[in-house]
Structure 1
Amino acid sequence: MRSYLGDLGLLRDRRFALLLSARTISMLGSAFAPVALAFGVLNLPGATASTLSVVLAAQSVPLIAFMLVGGVIADRMPRQRVMMAGELLMAAGYAGLALMLLIGWTPLPALAAAAALTGVASSVVYPALTGIIPEVVPADRLQTGNALLGLGANSSRVAGAVLGGGTVVLFGGGWALAVSAAMFAVAAAMIANLRLKPGERAHQEAHSVLADLREGWREFRSRQWIWVVVAQFSLLVMAVQAGHGVLGPLMAKESLGGPAAWSAFLTGEAVGTIAGVLVSLRLRPRRPILVAVLLCLPPALPYVVLGVGAPLWAIVGSAFVLGVCFDVFGVLWQTTMQREVPPESLSRVSSYDVLGSLMFGPVGLLLAGPAATFIGTRESLLGCAAIIVISTLAALLSPGVRNLRAPRPEPRAAAQPDASPL
């Protein structure tokens, strides 16, 4: 208990407390948005599933297309300002969507344009966030900082899914999107108050965007453990997207009683991500990437138990395990990247990481439906489990994954909270 209280002592650092609060509120806004946007669009006169698909595609395509540019921007400019600008763009995009829904002026091109703005904003915020954490958190407390940020984000996802749905039911999608926009604006204001000291970022010479991207790519591919795990994750995410997005809900409908069963599964996973924070606060492996990759094996379990027709309690329990493993993986991965990659390249490497990890996700969604039709839902779920296991075992063949060691912790004096106004 004393160790956990020591971890929580990081909250006394003014700048970290601001960053944690901003990120938690921003994630709460992000959790509000999907339910509000989906039902807000579907409730429009004449709207169909295709209408929603166009709006969601307009949001997701810029996220992927601008991710690398977002990494360049976050490495070139003060990350505090980049994050603040991204949160304000997010607020503007969702405020525009809210206004259109509330006044009843909803041409599809305008909806798509506002949604695209939120996608661009997300592509800027994530690389900047990865890079700003080492600027705020002491090097020997990076893992604690990442874990606490994960706790805030995971709690927001759970709360946002419930509160967002309730707001849509009571007040409508337009007002729910307005609340989401307000949260992003509050997050931007908090980030503006971080007041990072001048000189905490190394001075960067001016280069073209392409030159910066090439330099980031060199940093990315020069570390075997990074590109191997990103390649592994591209296949893992493909399987998870297929299992979570299509096959799992389909199995719940066919044999588990419908939406309530799938909601129980997702709840178990969400609780697992919160419990994973307690593990990640204490776990300090000497070979963090080896442990992180090994933690990718248990996430195959939910698709196995779904595929063999296990009872609901076993399915929910396996979802809990998945949540724990993915949360601990994320903390170990982020912390190791922040320690091993030079600060001046960290956001660009992070953007390559995200782009590579997510690139096959849409493929999983597209293949899941035909696979369920032609080979069966259960068999397809077992196929997802096989992809996860095989890709993980392949990653373990890499010496870079197996041998990378964390620096030994040095004795440290009692932390002094940063209570100054800076």
Structure 2
Amino acid sequence: MNSRQVPGRPFAWADRNYRIQTAATVVSGLGNAGAPIATAFAVLESGGDTTDVGYVTAARLVPLVLLLLLGGALADRLPRHRVMVTANLFNALSQLVLAVLVLDGGVRIWQLTLLAAAGGAGQAFYTPAAQGLLMRSVPPESAARAFAVFRMAQNGAQIGGAALGGTLVAAIGPGWVLAVDALAYALAAGLRVLLRIEPAAASSHRPSLVRELREGWREFVGRRWLWAVVLQFSVVMTCITAIESVYGPVAAQQRLGGARSWGIAMAAFGVGLLSTGFLMARWQPRRILLTGNYAVFLFALPALALALHAPAALVAAAMFTDGAAVTVFGVNWMVALQQEIPDELMSRVSAYDTVGSLALTPLGTALAGPAAGALGLDGALFACAAVTLLLAAAALLVPEVRRLARTTPAVSPAPEQVAAG
């Protein structure tokens, strides 16, 4: 990692790999933000119902969960940028096939399910490699600022992508949105080819993949703050995914005016993510996990707004607040990981983090439709809100969550550097 800084130069703390990775994430994010909206409405337009939307969403998550640990182990032993490029190209191909089928008309639910699963498989190899590379590209003393700027760039793409996706789905159908996503994956892969990674020292006694996974597991379970928060998110993420991928689109279709209104709500979520990034570039709280976990309480707002039949404007406001909370938690979580986890184990620990956070999501998403049938859509939304609030409170019972503190002195950003972010 090149951490040399040039005084007075914006992003002096950011090396070349950080800049390329941020640009590639923006490009892929513009396509990815609209893809879930397009997929949900492709299912509905093909004759599917709420349960089918849940099954297709779960189909993407199942291979993601099953293959993440393998992806994390490979990312810690192979050049991470090559893993990322290969995964991006695979996702570009799967989304292109899906787009062609949807545009051709008459796409079947099983085809949507199979190609959603292919997309999840590609993501399983990309995610741990991307997180490991990002952590390596940032000097510890500038971590909070760098992660905040990265999330601002990522979430700026979310704003444009979600709004454009919802508008295009309403105007010309979901197939074109999926085609844009395929192109975005391909362009991101081209950018990531430019990443320069120093080769790891060759070793004639490289441990087996199983042994490396065990090393990552020991690192994961040896830190109570880590597995406690991941356990919390294994349920919270199930509720979030059900709301964003199933309940939100269905509620929008039934009483908020359709795909465009949900696209606006998702864009408001992105604005919340982005605007809070400016705050997190300056605000660097000492109790990083305590601050992050307070934000989790706000994750319940979208479910409450939808359950209470709030108008579209209030739903968008709830999504905005939710997005702001996600950034507060996310930046503090990334700082904690970089501070506490060794670089050579980062992709494996990241994989265990992601697997644990998503472990119940495929089952929960698949059951989202039946749950809405049993409890009613509003009852299911109230249940999601209640579970999120209870788990946010439970995490505060773990001493390490309350006490884990920042150890690296932060570099105060110059006003022009924050503005440039």
- Tell me if structure 1 keeps the 8 A contact 2:79–2:197: no
Distance between the aligned counterparts of 1:384 and 1:217, measured in 2?
Answer: 30
**What is the RMSD of the two structures over their aligned residues, measured on CA atoms?**
3.7
- 1:21 deviates by 0.6
Separation in 1 of the partners of 2:249 and 2:173?
Answer: 25
Quote the residue 1:420 is aligned against.
none
SS at match of 1:296: helix
The more displaced of 47-56 and 124-133 is: 47-56
| C-alpha separation in 1, matches of 2:184 and 2:391 | 38
Does the 8 A contact of 2:284 with 2:410 survive in 1? no
Counterpart position of 1:127: 128
Cα 1:22/1:251, change in 2 over 3 Å: closer
Q: Which residue of 1 aligns with 2:3?
A: none
1:31 maps to which of 7, 10, 33: 33
The amino acid across from 1:328 in the alignment is V
For residues 159-170 of structure 1, the aligned pairs below 5 Å read 159-165=160-166
- Distance, in Å, in 2 between the alignment partners of 1:179 and 1:261 is 20
Offset at residue 370 of structure 1 (A): 4.9
Q: SS in structure 2 opposite 1:297? A: helix
SS of 1:34's partner is: helix
5+ long unaligned stretches in structure 1: 418-422
Match of residue 71 from structure 1: 72
Output the CA distance in 1 between the equivalents of 2:174 and 2:257.
Answer: 28
Structure 1 match to 2:23: 21
1:142/1:386 CA distance change after superposition, 3 Å: same
- Say whether residues 1:285 and 2:288 are aligned partners: no
Q: From the superposition, tell whether residues 166 and 302 of structure 1 become closer, same or farther in structure 2 (CA, over 3 Å).
A: closer
Spell out the pairing of 1:387-402 with structure 2 (5 A cutoff): 387-402=387-402
- 1:319 and 1:97 map into 2 onto residues whose CA distance is 29
Q: Deviation string for 1:42-85 (max 9, x for gaps)?
A: 777xx756987776555332212111111111111111111122
Matched, 1:336 2:340: no
1:56-67 alignment runs, 5 A limit: 58-67=59-68
Indicate if the aligned counterparts of 1:290 and 1:396 stay in contact, CA closer than 8 A. yes
Instruction: Write out aligned runs for 1:8-407 (5 A).
Output: 9-10=11-12, 13-37=15-39, 48=48, 58-98=59-99, 114-165=115-166, 176-199=177-200, 205-248=205-248, 262-307=262-307, 313-407=313-407
Deviates further, 308-317 or 138-147: 308-317
- Deviating more after overlay: 87-96 vs 344-353: 87-96
User: Alpha-carbon deviation of 1:398?
Assistant: 0.8
Contact 2:14–2:146 (8 Å) recurs in 1: no
Q: Which amino acid aligns with 1:224?
A: R
How far does residue 239 in structure 1 lie from its aligned partner after superposition? 2.9
Q: For the structure 1 residues 70 and 96, does the alpha-carbon distance in structure 2 shift closer, same or farther, using more than 3 Å as the test? A: same
Change beyond 3 A, Cα 1:21–1:237: same
Structure 2 residue runs without a partner (length 5+): 1-6
CA distance in 2, matches of 1:81, 1:330: 26
Deviations 1:133-185 (A, max 9, x none): 13222222222222222122212222223334555667665554443222222
* Number of matched pairs: 408
Q: Which moved more, 1:297-306 or 1:246-255?
A: 246-255
Cα distance in 2 for partners of 1:38, 1:254 equals: 14
8 A contact 2:13–2:138 mirrored in 1? no
The answer to whether the Cα contact below 8 Å between 1:150 and 1:327 also exists between their aligned partners in 2 is yes
Q: 1:12 to 1:398 in 2, by over 3 A?
A: closer
Pairwise CA distance, 1:19: 1.2
Q: Tell me the percent identity.
A: 37
